[in-house]
Amino acid sequence: MHTASTLTVLRRTGLAALAAGALLGVLATASADDPRPLPNPAEPVSYVKWLNDHFGAAIPKQANAADRYEQGMRVLSESEQAAHLAERPLNKLDDAELSSVRAWVKNNERALLELVNGAAMEKCYFKRSSKSEELRDNVLFPARRALHLAQVAVTRAKFKLVEGDVRGATVDFCAAVRFVAHLREQPSFMEYFIASSIGSEVNAALLLLPTMVRDRDNFDYQAVLKNIEGIDRPVAQPELQLKMETLLLWDYMQRTVETGGDEAAAREIDRLYQEWTNVFKADWADARKQADELARKHAQRGEKDDAVGKVMAFAKPQLLKVSEMQRRAEAEQRGVRLVLLVFSHHAKNGQWPKELNDALDGRPEQLTIDPFSAKPFAYRVDGDNFTLYSVSLNGADDGGKRSETERAWSGEGDFVFWPPKPVPAEPETPQPTP
């Protein structure tokens, strides 16, 4: 159960319905009976209009979270310097840097209000512009502003944690988490990619939560975790986005390929892309092999001088990257929950759990499975601390050794959820010689 005080805050911000699990996105049933219209070279289908009608028309006025998010991004006051400083732990900032970050957060109170209001809404669809009928002209999204909007929310949450305002921090964390979930549900790989990037930032902050609370041995991790679980969504396989990606290819074919294609060509393109669903469902090791084979198949099809060949030559799918992002997001989502559960177990029992299953507190064992190995995440107790990590992209257990590259998820080393990576000291500015 949620604590009464946390529920009070959530009700004030409109997040109570989400915390109660009442969220059913409009996109969840979008692919039922496959209503996508086939391309028509003689009279090209407006897929821009179709997307807007299919996904947006059913959302009542003033009930679309995307409107609130877009308004938040419009009024956002950006500061690259403050955003960069906010990536570091607050206790690593000097007084001048803290003042700069606080001012950045304060200047964005209105943007944060829009974010929280959007997170409280059930349905979300980012409408495509009607300035162009071509779908490929309508796939851009303000990624940087979206990232900074979530980052401001996370930064305010960190300040509130340090100040002891756990309820306020929970609301901000929940708003950022829900923003990511809404983006991930959009019928486009563009928003799916952006959600992956923003989600990593949000999860990185949540992983540091035990280092920011005043008394980590007596903190109520369960209260925060249950609220996050109540509004977050499982990281689903991007089958909806895959179907909508086919529309981009159909639109390209009907508008630019000389022969224009026909229904048979459209169906062949669809079949070629639908083969990628098996990649998303396979274990990571098998997924990479299947992806290589499909990439070769697509390339060979693109060598033929017909409508399908020209479209496939244009497409050059990088869907293994999508599969990687989906597994990364799933691993991060599980990793955050496990870290908080392990700390919750320690706060309750005075010792670290011997196994991850001991910390689940009634949650399914699937939570302990690493998407990159299909086996439990690596976990060990190290005296008065513990280590939790994923084997990451190479699928090999490197003993918890972090990648030496700047990319946290890479083909080298493991992705370590806990303990946190040591923060390197900022280089001192050389003083001028008198």
- CA distance from start to end of the chain: 64
* Closest to 188 measured CA to CA, from 146, 133, 135: 135
Q: Is the pLDDT of residue 15 over 80?
A: no
Cβ atoms within 10 Å, residue 428: 6
Q: Is the pLDDT of residue 424 over 70?
A: no
H or E element at residue 129? none
Mean pLDDT along residues 248-273: 88
DSSP class per residue in 278-346: HHHHS-HHHHHHHHHHHHHHHHHHTTSSSHHHHHHHHH---HHHHHHHHHHHHHHHHHHHHHHHHHHHH
Query: Which class for 326: exposed (0-12), middle (13-18), buried (19 or more C-beta within 10 A)?
Result: buried
Could you check whether the bond before residue 187 is cis, i.e. omega within 30 degrees of 0? no
What is the pLDDT, as a whole number, of residue 433? Answer: 55
Among left, alpha and beta (phi > 0; psi -120 to 50; other), residue 62 is: left
Could you check whether the bond before residue 39 is cis, i.e. omega within 30 degrees of 0? no
Q: Is the pLDDT of residue 430 over 70?
A: no
Reported pTM? 0.88
Residue-level length of the chain: 434
Averaged pLDDT score across all residues of the chain = 87
- Looking at this protein, which amino acid is placed at residue 94? D
Task: Give the start-to-end residue ranges of the domains of the chain.
Answer: 1-238, 257-316, 318-422
Q: How confident is the model at residue 391 (pLDDT cuts 50, 70, 90)?
A: very high
What is the pLDDT, as a whole number, of residue 77? Answer: 95
Mean pLDDT along residues 79-98: 91
Ranges 19-23, 243-247, 335-339, 430-434: which has the least confidence:
19-23
Mean pLDDT along residues 75-100: 92
Q: Is the pLDDT of residue 7 over 80?
A: no
DSSP count for the chain of H helices, then E strands: 18, 5
Mean pLDDT along residues 38-52: 93
What is the pLDDT, as a whole number, of residue 154? Answer: 97
Distance CA 110, CA 71 (A): 9
Cβ atoms within 10 Å, residue 36: 20
Q: Is the pLDDT of residue 5 over 80?
A: no
Dihedrals phi, psi of 194, to nearest 5 degrees? -65, -40
Q: What is the pLDDT of residues 285-298, one digit of tens each?
A: 899 899 989 989 98
Q: Is the pLDDT of residue 194 over 70?
A: yes
Query: Which class for 272: exposed (0-12), middle (13-18), buried (19 or more C-beta within 10 A)?
Result: buried
- Looking at this protein, which amino acid is placed at residue 102? R
Q: How confident is the model at residue 12 (pLDDT cuts 50, 70, 90)?
A: very low
In degrees to the nearest 10, what's the CA dihedral of 389, 391, 393, 396?
Answer: 160
What is the pLDDT, as a whole number, of residue 425? Answer: 54
DSSP class per residue in 297-309: HHHHHTTSSSHHH
What is the pLDDT, as a whole number, of residue 431? Answer: 53
In degrees to the nearest 10, what's the CA dihedral of 346, 351, 356, 362?
Answer: -50
Strand order in the sheet with 378-382: 378-382, 385-390, 415-418
Q: What is the DSSP pairing of strand 378-382 with strand 375-376?
A: unpaired
Query: Which class for 146: exposed (0-12), middle (13-18), buried (19 or more C-beta within 10 A)?
Result: buried
Q: Which two tokens stand for residue 91?
A: 């206790």
300: CB partners within 8 A, 6+ apart: none
Ranges 6-15, 167-176, 262-271: which has the least confidence:
6-15
Q: Is the pLDDT of residue 11 over 60?
A: no
Task: Please list the residues that pair with 386 across neighbouring strands.
Answer: 381
Check: CB of residue 308 under 8 Å from CB of residue 268. Answer: yes
Query: Residue 164: helix, strand or coil by DSSP?
Result: coil
Q: What is the pLDDT of residues 334-361, one digit of tens each?
A: 999 999 999 999 999 999 999 999 999 9
Please state, for a pLDDT cut of 90, what percent of the chain lies above it.
63
Q: Is the pLDDT of residue 422 over 80?
A: no
Task: Please list the residues that pair with 369 across neighbouring strands.
Answer: 376
Mean pLDDT along residues 301-307: 91
Let me know the angle formed at the C-alpha of 145 by 82 and 55, rounded to the nearest 5 degrees: 155
Residue with tokens 């700069």: 100
Query: Residue 275: helix, strand or coil by DSSP?
Result: coil
Select the more confidently predicted residue: 256 or 96. 96
CATH architecture of 318-422: 2-Layer Sandwich (3.30)
Q: Is the pLDDT of residue 195 over 90?
A: yes
Q: What is the pLDDT of residues 101-140, one digit of tens each?
A: 999 999 999 999 999 999 999 999 999 987 788 888 888 8
DSSP structural state of residue 54: I
- Looking at this protein, which amino acid is placed at residue 251? D
Mean pLDDT along residues 355-368: 96
Q: What is the pLDDT of residues 142-162, one digit of tens each?
A: 999 999 999 999 999 999 999
Q: How confident is the model at residue 308 (pLDDT cuts 50, 70, 90)?
A: very high
